[in-house]
């Protein structure tokens, strides 16, 4: 294992502070890891412009790497290319569904809103309706299942 | 101010866009715990949070580019908390009081439809920072616009009372939309350089989005010749001073305070 792969393995264990079933790698927030002579530079991108978790993610990255012996760490935040839910890993989507949050669908081209056939993570029915476009965090919408009547969070496509 | 001291035009442009987002974020935050239902508390404050994020990126960029006295960079916090009313370059639409829920929805519709076209166009800016901010923000704003549209339909084509309030909100705010599409020398130069979005091109797209929404909502397009202006030169309505007093209070009382 190269040194850079070791740092990468450490970062693969850093979880999202708001949805801790996902790692920042699952989310696609972790964009790049470079290591040169013990200096580690980590590149991350925010999910939403105003995502309040970014400061916590930055601090968690530094703490995780320090814990693994990397003293010289820089975390760089980039906006471009803009984050999209298409970057979420299949593993991440599975973990979301298992924790009761409907994963995002694949996005069409352009900033269009097309959200069809969203499956209830509790009973599996696709007969669900939108309750509110904005949920407990910026990245989620609230939906209700017409079959089992339970409300659930949906990680919306962006 | 001599031309040598004038900030680079792109910094002024970023400030205009950033101040729009910042001031509207502050207005939306006023709905926390006061909206007609819990989902709307969450929705309006989430929209405010998106706008605040956009404002941070734009003000941080403006601060790096414009510099302060002695050429030192100014931070996003310096710009948000230590400028006076006459130094804010937001349009007057975003500073207007939130009014009732219908008025807030009217503003969200008018402004998010504008901001959507703005960011859509700015994605192709020759300025990499503006293009990056816009590419990210346009996706967020598509949700803001959809939210405002759904509420406009529900209120406009709802009860007599909700229709009246929605129409009143539109009538009150419509005059302020003229300023969104104003062109001045600075903007003309930046459009020519491929840096800024051309307001004259944004307007038809904005209008053609709104028209079918208002028709379906049984609302009338207000007819007015009033077109208040001045925000881009730091001339504001009385209400902005009160908004800034609340937003800047803590930072000015406790300089350098951190959470």
Q: What is residue A38's predicted lDDT score, i.e. its pLDDT?
A: 84
Nearest-by-CA chain B residue for A49: B53
Q: How confident is the model at residue B2 (pLDDT cuts 50, 70, 90)?
A: very low
- How does pLDDT run across B84-142, given as a tens digit for each residue? 999 999 999 999 999 999 999 999 999 999 999 999 999 999 999 999 999 999 999 99
Whether the CB-CB separation of B89 and B231 falls below 8 Å is answered with yes
Nearest-by-CA chain B residue for A132: B39
Q: What is residue A111's predicted lDDT score, i.e. its pLDDT?
A: 55
Strand order in the sheet with A30-36: A30-36, A39-44, A72-77
- How does pLDDT run across A29-72, given as a tens digit for each residue? 999 999 988 899 999 999 988 888 899 999 999 999 999 999 89
Whether the CB-CB separation of B119 and B138 falls below 8 Å is answered with yes
Q: How confident is the model at residue B7 (pLDDT cuts 50, 70, 90)?
A: confident
User: Measured between CA atoms, how close is A133 to chain B, in angstroms?
Assistant: 7
Neighbouring CB atoms inside 10 A of B172's CB total 16
DSSP string, B137-192: HHHHHHHHHHHHHHHHHHHHTS-HHHHHHHHHHHHHHGGGGGGGG---HHHHHHHH
Average pLDDT over residues B23-42: 94
Kindly calculate the radius of gyration of chain A based on its CA atoms and give it in whole angstroms.
17
B186: its two tokens: 């600075």
Q: Which residues does chain B have within 8 Å of residue A51's beta carbon, measured at their own beta carbons?
A: 53
B13: its two tokens: 């442009």
| Cα–Cα dist B4/B8, whole Å | 10
| Cα–Cα dist A7/A21, whole Å | 21
Q: Is the pLDDT of residue A1 over 50?
A: no
Counts of helices then strands in chain A (DSSP H, E): 4, 7
Q: Which residues does chain B have within 8 Å of residue A50's beta carbon, measured at their own beta carbons?
A: 49-54, 56
**Binary contact (A49, B54; C-beta < 8 A):** yes
Helices (H), chain B: 9-29, 38-66, 76-81, 92-95, 101-122, 128-156, 160-173, 185-192, 199-216, 239-253
Q: How confident is the model at residue B68 (pLDDT cuts 50, 70, 90)?
A: low
**Binary contact (A82, B136; C-beta < 8 A):** yes
Reference A14, options A29, A26, A28, A24; nearest CA is A24
Q: Which residues does chain A have within 8 Å of residue B123's beta carbon, measured at their own beta carbons?
A: none
| Cα–Cα dist B244/B176, whole Å | 20
Q: What integer best gives the mean pLDDT of chain B?
A: 94
**Binary contact (A111, B51; C-beta < 8 A):** no
Q: Does B59 touch chain A (CB under 8 A)?
A: no
User: What is the ipTM for the molecules in this complex?
Assistant: 0.84
User: Measured between CA atoms, how close is A126 to chain B, in angstroms?
Assistant: 22
Which residues neighbour B51 within 8 Å (Cβ) at sequence distance 6 or greater? A50, B21, B22, B24, B25, B28
| pTM of structure | 0.91
Whether the CB-CB separation of A108 and A70 falls below 8 Å is answered with no
Strand order in the sheet with A151-155: A101-102, A151-155, A140-145, A128-132
Q: What is residue B67's predicted lDDT score, i.e. its pLDDT?
A: 62
**Binary contact (B143, A156; C-beta < 8 A):** yes
- Geometric angle at alpha carbon B25, from B234 and B151, rounded to 5°: 120
Q: Which residues does chain B have within 8 Å of residue A43's beta carbon, measured at their own beta carbons?
A: none
DSSP string, A61-117: HHHHHHHTT--EEEEEE--SSPP-GGGS-HHHHHHHHHTTEEPPPPP-SSS------
User: Measured between CA atoms, how close is B225 to chain A, in angstroms?
Assistant: 34
Nearest to A142 among B39, B49, B138 (CB): B39
CA A129 vs CA B19, B37, B146: distances in Å: 36, 18, 16
Average pLDDT over residues B239-256: 94
Neighbouring CB atoms inside 10 A of A24's CB total 23
Q: Which residues does chain B have within 8 Å of residue A112's beta carbon, measured at their own beta carbons?
A: 142
| Cα–Cα dist B167/B161, whole Å | 10
């Amino acid at each position: 294992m190269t040194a850079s792969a070791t740092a990468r393995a450490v970062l693969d264990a850093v979880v999202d502070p708001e949805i801790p079933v996902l790692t920042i790698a699952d989310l696609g927030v972790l964009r790049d890891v470079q290591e040169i002579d013990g200096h580690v530079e980590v590149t991350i991108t925010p999910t939403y412009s105003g995502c309040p978790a970014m400061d916590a993610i930055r601090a968690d990255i530094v703490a995780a790497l320090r814990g693994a012996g990397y003293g010289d760490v820089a975390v760089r935040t980039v906006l471009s290319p803009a984050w999209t839910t298409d970057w979420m890993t299949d593993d991440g989507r599975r973990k979301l569904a298992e924790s009761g949050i409907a994963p995002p669908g694949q996005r069409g081209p352009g900033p269009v809103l097309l959200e069809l056939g969203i499956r209830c993570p509790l009973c599996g029915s696709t007969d669900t309706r939108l309750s509110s476009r904005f949920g407990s965090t910026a990245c989620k919408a609230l939906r209700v299942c017409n079959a089992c009547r339970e409300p659930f969070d949906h990680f919306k496509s962006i | 101010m001599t031309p040598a001291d004038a900030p680079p035009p792109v910094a002024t442009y970023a400030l205009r866009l950033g101040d729009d987002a910042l001031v509207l974020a502050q207005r939306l935050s006023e709905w926390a715990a006061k909206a007609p239902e819990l989902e709307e508390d969450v929705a309006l404050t989430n929209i405010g949070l998106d706008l605040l994020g956009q404002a941070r990126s734009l003000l941080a960029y403006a601060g790096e580019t414009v510099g302060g006295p002695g050429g030192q960079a100014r931070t996003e916090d310096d710009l948000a908390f230590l400028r006076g009313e006459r130094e804010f370059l937001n349009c007057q639409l975003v500073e207007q009081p939130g009014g009732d829920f219908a008025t807030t929805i009217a503003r969200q519709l008018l402004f998010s439809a504008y901001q959507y076209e703005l960011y859509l166009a700015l994605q192709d800016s020759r300025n990499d920072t503006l293009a990056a901010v816009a590419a990210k923000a346009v996706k967020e704003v598509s949700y803001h616009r959809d939210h405002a549209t759904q509420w406009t339909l529900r209120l406009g084509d709802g009860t007599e009372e909700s229709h009246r309030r929605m129409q009143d909100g539109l009538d009150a705010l419509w005059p302020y939309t003229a300023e969104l599409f104003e062109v001045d020398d600075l903007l003309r130069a930046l459009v020519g350089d491929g840096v800024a979005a051309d307001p004259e091109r944004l307007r038809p797209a904005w209008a053609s989005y709104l028209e079918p929404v208002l028709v379906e909502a049984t609302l009338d397009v207000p007819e007015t010749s009033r077109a208040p202006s001045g925000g881009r030169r730091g001339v504001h309505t009385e209400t902005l001073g009160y908004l800034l007093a609340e937003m800047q209070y803590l930072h000015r009382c406790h300089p350098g305070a951190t959470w």
